[in-house]
Amino acid sequence: LNQLRKNATPEQKQRYLPRLCTGEHVGALAMSEAGSGSDVVSMKLRADARGDRYVLNGSKMWITNGPDADVLVVYAKTDPDAGARGITAFIVERGMPGFSTAQKLDKLGMRGSNTCELVFTDCEVPAENVLGTLNGGVRVLMSGLDFERVVLAGGPLGLMAAAMDVVLPYVHERKQFGAPIGTFQLMQAKLADMYVGLNACRAYVYAVARACDAGLTTRQDAAGAI
């Protein structure tokens, strides 16, 4: 959503953002592949220009919301010899010929959103669905990834806070050697470390979030937050 907000043309924004914002449509970002995650330059998905459209061939793996997405921002190589300067972002819609979803992937956690493999077999995407500029996909990706990392950091913060909510009553209820375990120095030290860690992380994430709101965030801080 943020990548569309920052990089889409007025026509693209009008077409996709309203229903994504209301929740009528589900969105997804397709960057990772079986052999490339953070190393985007090593991606294999190709997009070859043919007239007024691009033909995509390849696959994407571990795509959050993949089975349910109506609109996807997909990254593919348009100039394989140009490295990071040869990647382009495309807006792909569910139902486009040649685009399909493969197996739904099981996960250890974060089961609230489905994850799957995406398959592109001679998938034709109109040239007007290029997001940003041709071969400017890495800039589009990073324009939203910093924001995404800060947002995702809220999940671990919530888990840390929940752990504190559970453990504080427990150390007063659980007894060993005739006393609540919360009276033991070792347990008190562990609780102190948990409390300090939670508040330090919360302060850091909130500071980076405020910087995002002000347009002042740095890539290092966004990565550090998560």
Q: What is the pLDDT of residues 16-47, one digit of tens each?
A: 999 999 999 999 999 999 988 778 889 999 99
Of residues 83 and 39, the one with the higher pLDDT is 83
Average pLDDT over the chain, rounded to whole? Answer: 94
205 confidence band (pLDDT: 50, 70, 90): very high
Instruction: Round to whole Å and give the CA distance between 189 and 191.
Output: 5
Give this prediction's pTM: 0.83
Dihedral, 99, 103, 106, 112 alpha carbons, nearest 10: 40
* CA gap 58, 47 in Å, rounded: 9
- Please, which pLDDT band fits residue 1 given cuts at 50, 70 and 90? confident
46: phi then psi, degrees, rounded to nearest 5: -105, 150
Catalytic residue of the set 11, 124, 128, 148? 148
State yes or no: is 128 an active-site residue.
no
Residue 122 backbone phi and psi in degrees, to 5: 50, 45
Q: Tell me the mean pLDDT in the region 69-75.
A: 98
Cα(69)–Cα(119) distance, integer angstroms: 14
Q: Set out the domains of the chain in order of their start, with CATH numbers.
A: 2-134 (2.40.110.10), 153-225 (1.20.140.10)
The predicted pLDDT at position 17 comes to 97
